[in-house]
Structures are given as structure tokens and as C-alpha cells.
């Protein structure tokens, strides 16, 4: 394969499998197609929605929503307990297809990845359409793609394409942003579409009259730095569509994680416990897909005032077991979270990765 010509714009594709868990469930049981259903825990167990079909989304159901609320919005919602081994197998098939195109694949989660196809001679849009057709056919899953000259814009492009969809089926969208048009594409979007802009930052930007990415790009960088420190300078660059972050392949990855920023602060212990379990399951799947185990379990929390903290514990024997990861994650949570305290962001991660024997230790030590 030819080496990229670094004088030319990079060609980056972001692939996102549409309602992945639900798409796999529809393969398992075709009778589910077109029906409102959700994958997740039971409402009587304070379960949360891990994924939901587009028919359910049309009724207001969303991921990370308490299942009890989902049922109030959609009383005929079908609840599927989840078949995680099937999801893991399907994800492995997709990632193998991506690596047939380029070795420069960065898997973000079980259903999302970046590809750097700069070294390929074909036009990037043609590559994206061929890739989508391949995934649609084998393993037969819908997917949306964003194409751009960097990871930031490619990710926002795929989100944008998915956001234009309002039907009962998957979007299966492709959004291409030509080199040189990044800033123009971003300009009319709300600032929340930009990496690093959460609800609190959005609130502070709104107070200064900045509502769109274009307005953020036009703001004096010195003012943003004064208001937000280094984060302000980073936002100014991203608002102009500038991002030189490289693709990080599996071999380079030193940690894996899953996190969620809640649309509203969460205080409910059962919901937080369920989210820890869900994150732990997804992290364990990522480990298993790579044939890895982890020696360190990490918790990340962000309070409503944007204070962020991390805690971790290290195992005597590495693991890829979701139940153990969840148990230790919650133990870390109990050390820093008081019942009733509002949580803005919650994440579970692992580090100390290696191809180690898949054994569970009985003891851990705190760091």
C-alpha cells in the first residue's frame, strides 16, 4: 500500500453502525423490523435503554433513558434483554471489513470507528459508498458515514447525516465534507455539536452571545482563552474545522473507556448503577474483541459545576469480565459519590492492557 502524501488533505471516514444492538436483534428475529422495541434492562429492575429502534425513537424513546419512562412514552414498547455475544461477533465482522480497506482503523466502541484512507488512490466518496454497500450486505447492517479531512469533522458529519433522518428505518446516511469547506459546514451548527462543548460550556458561551460554531470561530481567541483557559484556544481551533489528531490503532491504544454526558443531571442511584453496568459491559466487549485483558479499572465523574475527577483500582489478575469491572467501578463510585449528589458525566474505563491469561483476581489494591 502506498504511503500517504502528507502534502495533500487526509481522507478520513467515520463509520457509525445505526442502532447497532437493534439491527442485530432484527437479524436474530426479523419479526421485530418496523416495531418499537428497546434493548436494555427491565423497568421493574430500574433498567435503562441501551439502544432502541427507530420506530421507538419516533415515539420519543432514547438511549440511556430509564426503561420505565420509555414505557410511559411508548406503552407498546417491546423490551429485549440483549444478546451481547451476538453483538460482539457482528462488531468483529464489521471491523474485519474495515481492516481489509486500510490498517489505519481506530475502533472507538463496539459500533463506531475511524478509518484513514489517505493512501488509497480511489476518490474517498466512492470508497465510502463501497464500504457502506459492503457492510449493508455482509454482515448486513445499516451504517452511516461521515467523510472529511480530519476526525473532528468526519464525526460531526456522520452525526449530522443521521440527524437529518426522521423515518422509522435506519438513516444509512453518507455525508461528505470537501477539503476547504470544513469551517463553512460547521458554521451554522449549534456549539454543542463541537467536541469539548458540554452543557455547562454551552451555557457560558450563550451568556456571551455565542450560539453557533461560526460565531465561536469568529470570536477573538484571546477572549476565549481568558474565559476558558487552554480549552478556549482548543475550541477556537476546532470551530474553524482544524484537527490534526492521528488515527490510534489497536496496537497503540493504552486504555479503553465508555462514558456518557447525561442530558439532565442524574441523582438516582439505581440509574447510575445501571449505567455503570452498561458501560462495563461495553468495555468488556471491546476487550474481548481484541483478545485483551485489563489490570486497571477506572471511574470518571463530572459534577454539574464541570469539576471532573477520576479514580482507579488495580487488580492482582487482569480481567475482561463485565461483572467484575462493574463491581469495582461501583466500589470506586461509592468512595466519591454521596446519595442524591447530581452527576453530569459518568464513565468507566480500563488500562494496563495486555494479552494476558483471562483470570480473575480475588483481591485488588487501591491506587
**Which residues are catalytic, by number?**
112
Q: 204 is written with which cell numbers? A: 457560558
DSSP, res 194:
S
Q: Are 320 and 280 in contact, with CB atoms under 8 Å apart?
A: no
Instruction: Measure CA of the first residue to CA of the last residue in the chain; give whole Å.
Output: 44
Separation of alpha carbons 94 and 105, rounded Å: 11
Separation of alpha carbons 354 and 340, rounded Å: 37
185: helix, strand or coil: helix
Q: Are 213 and 194 in contact, with CB atoms under 8 Å apart?
A: yes
Residues in Cβ contact with 246 at an 8 Å cutoff, skipping those fewer than 6 apart: 116
Going by C-alpha positions, the residue among 136, 137, 147 that lies closest to residue 170 is 136
Q: 209 is written with which cell numbers? A: 452571545
Going by C-alpha positions, the residue among 41, 136, 45 that lies closest to residue 79 is 41
Number of neighbouring beta carbons within 10 Å of residue 51:
22
Going by C-alpha positions, the residue among 327, 335, 287, 286 that lies closest to residue 310 is 335
Residues in Cβ contact with 51 at an 8 Å cutoff, skipping those fewer than 6 apart: 19, 20, 21, 22, 38, 39, 40, 63
CA-to-CA separations, 116 to 285, 338, 346, in angstroms, rounded = 24, 44, 30
Going by C-alpha positions, the residue among 58, 60, 62 that lies closest to residue 49 is 62
CA-to-CA separations, 120 to 2, 116, 177, in angstroms, rounded = 7, 9, 18
Amino acid at each position: 500500500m502506498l504511503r500517504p502524501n502528507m502534502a495533500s488533505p487526509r481522507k478520513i471516514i467515520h463509520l457509525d453502525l445505526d442502532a447497532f444492538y437493534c439491527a442485530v436483534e432484527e437479524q436474530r428475529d426479523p419479526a421485530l423490523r418496523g416495531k418499537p422495541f428497546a434493548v436494555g434492562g427491565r423497568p421493574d429492575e430500574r433498567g435503562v435503554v441501551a439502544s432502541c429502534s427507530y420506530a421507538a425513537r419516533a415515539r420519543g424513546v432514547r438511549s440511556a433513558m430509564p426503561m420505565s419512562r420509555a414505557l410511559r412514552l411508548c406503552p407498546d414498547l417491546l423490551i429485549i434483554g440483549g444478546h451481547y455475544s451476538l453483538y460482539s461477533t457482528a462488531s468483529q465482522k464489521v471491523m474485519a471489513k474495515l481492516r481489509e480497506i486500510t490498517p489505519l482503523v481506530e475502533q472507538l466502541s463496539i459500533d463506531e470507528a475511524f478509518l484513514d484512507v489517505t493512501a488509497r488512490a480511489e476518490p474517498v466518496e466512492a470508497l465510502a459508498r463501497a464500504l457502506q454497500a459492503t457492510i449493508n450486505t455482509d454482515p448486513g447492517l445499516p451504517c452511516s458515514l461521515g467523510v472529511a479531512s480530519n476526525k473532528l469533522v468526519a464525526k460531526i458529519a456522520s452525526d449530522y447525516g443521521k440527524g437529518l433522518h426522521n423515518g422509522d428505518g435506519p438513516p444509512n446516511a453518507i455525508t461528505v465534507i470537501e477539503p476547504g469547506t470544513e469551517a463553512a459546514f460547521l458554521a451554522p451548527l449549534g456549539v454543542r455539536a463541537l467536541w469539548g462543548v458540554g452543557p455547562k460550556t454551552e451555557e457560558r458561551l450563550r451568556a456571551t452571545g455565542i450560539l453557533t460554531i461560526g460565531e465561536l470561530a469568529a470570536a477573538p481567541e484571546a477572549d476565549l482563552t481568558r474565559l476558558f483557559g487552554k480549552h478556549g484556544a482548543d475550541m477556537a481551533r476546532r470551530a474553524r474545522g482544524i484537527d490534526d489528531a492521528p488515527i490510534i490503532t489497536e496496537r497503540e491504544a493504552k486504555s479503553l473507556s465508555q462514558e456518557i454526558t447525561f442530558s439532565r443531571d442524574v441523582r438516582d442511584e439505581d440509574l447510575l448503577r445501571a449505567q455503570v453496568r452498561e458501560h462495563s459491559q461495553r468495555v468488556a466487549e471491546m476487550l474481548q474483541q481484541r483478545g485483551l485483558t485489563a489490570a486497571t479499572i477506572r471511574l470518571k465523574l463530572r459534577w454539574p459545576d464541570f469539576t471532573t475527577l477520576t479514580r482507579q483500582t488495580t487488580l492482582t489478575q487482569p480481567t475482561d469480565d463485565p461483572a467484575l469491572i462493574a463491581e469495582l467501578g461501583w466500589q470506586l463510585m461509592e468512595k466519591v459519590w454521596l446519595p442524591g449528589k447530581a452527576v453530569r458525566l459518568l464513565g468507566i474505563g480500563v488500562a494496563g492492557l495486555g494479552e494476558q491469561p483471562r483470570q480473575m483476581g480475588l483481591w485488588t489494591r487501591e491506587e
